[in-house]
Structure 1
Amino acid sequence: MRSLLAGLGPADIRTAPFPHIVADAPMEAGLYEALSTSFPEFQRLGWPSPPGRMPNNRRFELSAQMILNADDMPECWKAFAAYHSGPDFLAEVETLFQGHWDPAMLAALGGRLTGHSTGRLNIAQPGPYRIHQDARMEINTPVRDRPSSSRGPHLDTPNRLFSCLFYMRAPNDDAQGGDLLLYRWRDGPQGRIDTYELPAEAVEVVATVPYGANRLVIFPQSVNALHGVGVRHPTPHTRRYVFITAQVTEDWLRLPPREAN
């Protein structure tokens, strides 16, 4: 399995509004086609339902562990999930963003992301690991009525180490919107950073990453890693992607003491 990060290096890191990488066609065309054509329908990630009965613009997921345990998943997906939720990928991410990791994160991990026990994320039965990894299929269901966002500006969970989005837009998806928005604080970090969505007046958009086929976005977690999904207009199409991440059990991300309320 070819890593999504193969060929990427420090020169690819953009620092505004926070350290991140955007990469087009990180997956070889043939393998991407195999993954894309076998990406499951809503009924596999949600529940058996006629297309018109799907919930409106809602997120559903299928974890790496579930992919690996499923008899109906093709081998290309099992290989993809196994590698990108494993320790070798974590080591790639650590090296790629060397010098950009939050000091508080490094302090919580004794200075390094690697060298710890790792395992795949299982929310129902967490394993005895220091770091829990996942590479899960995710979808946002069609927008049936009025334009909406599946999630506004936010920070990912305070125990997260990094976030990686691998977009897999379907060839026939002509929907408008649903792009990734990168924000910065208007007046510095403030309020509750663990809320589901931050107040719109607390942040401002700095960059937009269009939702597209075979496109990757990856960034370390930090108090400045603000992002959200742009408004999607009514569409019958499903927004498809893989979310790759790693996290620890305890929260390490907090507001800087001088800025805490």
Structure 2
Amino acid sequence: MRTLLSKVQASNVIAEPFPHIVIKDALDEELCAKLMAEYPSIDTLKQSRDNQLTTTSSNVRFHYIAEDIFNDDQISSTWKEFIQLHSSNLFFQQFIELFKDHILQLYPNFEQDYGSLESLTSGVRKIDTFENSDVLLDALICVNTPVTTRPTSVRAAHIDFSDKLFAGLFYLRDPKDNSTGGDLELYKFKNGKPQGFRSNALPDYAVEFCKKIKYERNVFVLFLNSVYAVHGVTTRSITDYPRYFVNLVGEVKKPLFDNSKYQEANHIKYWRKVKQLISTAK
């Protein structure tokens, strides 16, 4: 089995609006079809203690982390091999080779803070720790449940947490799914500088749409995380079909950036008031 990055070259990395790759037909058709046929059920994915929700409702996310996958006999051997490969040091080294120049451009002090790119070691999140690994990887089998009430977006424009070095999305859309939406959108800040954050979310006035990546079968997207890596998911129409994808992440020990200084003024006032009320209640 080859990784999703096996046929990717550094020249495939797109710099704008932030460093990313989009690979169509990322896996050979036989493997892609096998993964689809053996995709775990929503009930299986709901079992993970890592999920924030436990009840199934319209257009919500459930996921199974690598630790869960390795310990569950219900998960097929093909899926276990795929997840093991994409949380391995081989995959991490392929990522580094592709994105090293962009990492150093975005984070000039990266090697001083985290170590030489050539010598970084990786482990698996919640199995290994930062005591023996520089970066912790995970490969999560995910689903967004069917949209049963009204068209909604899973998540609008936002950035990922600052301890994420990269994030990847491998789409496995059901061929019979004729719904609309669920596409990935990439944005940039309207004035070129970070602004208007509401925690990690961003309002429409602060960002400008740049690119849409369709939610399609056998498409892989991976991007370098930063304060500029603004992305969101388009509104899904009502549908009986789940949205199937694998989420790949790499975490570092300490935050790569700080977006607190770019928070919207009203948002800062709101959270100060909340903290004050909590303090008073105590």
Fold match by TM threshold 0.5: yes
User: Aligned runs of 1:1-261 on 2, under 5 Å?
Assistant: 1-46=1-46, 54-101=56-103, 102-103=106-107, 104-112=109-117, 115-122=119-126, 128=131, 129-187=133-191, 188-192=193-197, 195-255=199-259
Displacement, 1:44? 0.8
Structure with greater helix share of residues: 2
Per-residue Cα deviation, 1:23-82 (whole angstroms, up to 9, x for no partner): 1111111111111111112111115xxxxx831111110011211111111111111011
How does the TM-score come out when normalised to structure 1?
Answer: 0.89
Identity %, equivalent residues? 33
**What is the SS of the residue equivalent to 2:83?**
helix
Q: Give the Cα–Cα distance (whole angstroms) in 2 for the partners of residues 55 and 105 of structure 1.
A: 41
Instruction: Give the TM-score of the pair, scaled to structure 2.
Output: 0.83
Q: How many Å apart are 1:245 and its aligned residue?
A: 1.1
The one-letter amino acid paired with 2:31 is L
The one-letter amino acid of 1:57's match is: N
Q: Which amino acid aligns with 2:165?
A: L
SS in 2 for 1:184: strand
Higher deviation after alignment, 152-161 or 8-17: 8-17
For the Cα contact (< 8 Å) 1:105–1:253, is it kept in 2?
no
Tell me the CA shift for residue 137 of structure 1.
Answer: 0.6
- The SS at the match of 1:99 is helix
What per-residue deviation string (whole Å, max 9, x for no partner) do you get for residues 91-129 of structure 1?
Answer: 0000011311121544431242x5344321129x95633
1:255 Cα offset (Å):
4.7
Given that 2:165 and 2:256 are in contact with CA atoms closer than 8 Å, whether structure 1 keeps it comes out as no
Choose between structure 1 and 2 for higher RCO, CA contacts under 8 A separated by at least 6 residues.
1
Return 82-91 or 126-135, whichever deviates more: 126-135
- Tell me: CA distance 1:95–1:43, structure 2 relative to 1, closer, same or farther (3 Å): same
What is the alpha-carbon root mean square deviation over aligned residues? 2.2
The aligned length equals: 252
Distance 2:225 2:63 in 1: 21
Q: Please, which runs of 5 or more residues in structure 1 have no aligned partner?
A: 48-52
Structure 2 gaps, min length 5: 48-54, 265-282
Measured against aligned partners, the alpha-carbon deviations of 1:182-203 in whole angstroms (never above 9, x if no partner) come to 000112102447x242112111
Query: SS in structure 2 opposite 1:139?
Result: strand
Q: Which amino acid aligns with 1:133?
A: L
Q: Deviations over 1:186-243 (max 9, x none)?
A: 12102447x2421121111100000000000011112211101011111111001001
